[in-house]
Homo-oligomer: A and B are copies of this chain.
């Protein structure tokens, strides 16, 4: 089978770079076009992308000329069968619709369409059935569709919650995050702001997490996702870490479970990506560590090439009925962003949506 031609929208930022890295030598996709803002268009990728990723920028990519993010420019520059979007939300709203309308399916990391009723927020291991929502998007007059990623914090959290919900049921969740600076982009967090400091606030993050978790873990009935029935509260904070979001989670279960049983449910958790052996799927979506002081971002963020989340410190919670608390960590620009989108695209391809 020929590889699908891929365009990256917003190719120069942190998540765009991760797309570049993940799509290099990919077995299903080939990087066809790099699109970015007018400020970068016309220049070589190597000149405009501030490469922050381990290892070198792929040479060929460095030499590629960036085009502006319009359907026409992308067509002229080589065309695309799929678009990976790392656009800022305000740009994504317009641009992603244009691509979907023009028949190019969009796998997006932007927040713009997440809460639209006919757009799935997809984690391939968690809610692959929500993909059926995309069929409804033809009503918008689009030839193709948009599938969104959750917010990075949401993804890490939902990965850990899903097996708990499957096996024991969830009634209530509190999550307190310690998030990496890469989530805000290259210049997003000045060193003067975070050196010897914590910033206990990330704009709109808590609202996103609270809404998205319930949608992703909700059930698709007919044409509608019914949000999950549990309660959730988030408190989000930025800490002095490069990559890797750490989240302290307190969960009230529907049915009593010991920490060992919860660990077991997490370890056994697999999804469609593992069944289909999708190229980007980690062998273990969740890695459970037994040490008292893990997970830690510097040591654990590349577990499963950044696609696994790592859980530790599973213990009883004394303030909740059937309470469990634990710590979960995930790589915010891989599983929390580009990697999740690529995995979603692989699922779309293998399940015949594209």
A interface residues, Cβ below 8 angstroms from B: 51-52, 54-55, 172-174, 176, 178, 181-182, 186-201, 203, 210, 231-233, 235, 237, 239-242, 246, 248, 250, 292-299, 302, 312-313, 317-320, 323, 325, 327
Contacts and interface: CB of A to CB of B under 8 A. Distances in A.
A290 B2 CA distance: 38
A242 B196 contact: yes
A319 B292 CA distance: 28
A172 B250 CA distance: 13
Most chain B CB within 10 A, of A178, A193, A197, A313, is at: A197
Given A194-B191, A195-B242, A233-B320, A200 B250 contact: no
B176 A182 contact: no
A182 B192 contact: yes
Most chain B CB within 10 A, of A51, A181, A203, A239, is at: A239
Contacts of A327: 200, 235, 237
A176 B241 contact: no
Given A173-B319, A191-B240, A201-B293, A325 B196 contact: no
Contacts of A178: 178, 198, 237, 239
A81 to B, nearest CB: 32
B319 A192 contact: no
A232 B191 CA distance: 31
Contacts of A199: 293, 296
Contacts of A200: 246, 248, 293-296, 312-313, 327
A51 B203 CA distance: 20
A85 B199 CA distance: 31
B198 A181 contact: no
Given A248-B176, A325-B233, A52 B192 contact: yes
B198 A191 contact: no
Nearest to A325: B235
B239 A55 contact: no
Contacts of A240: 191, 195-196, 239-241
B191 A54 contact: no
B197 A299 contact: yes
Given A178-B178, A191-B189, A232 B198 contact: no
A248 B232 contact: no
Contacts of A235: 176, 248, 250, 313, 325, 327
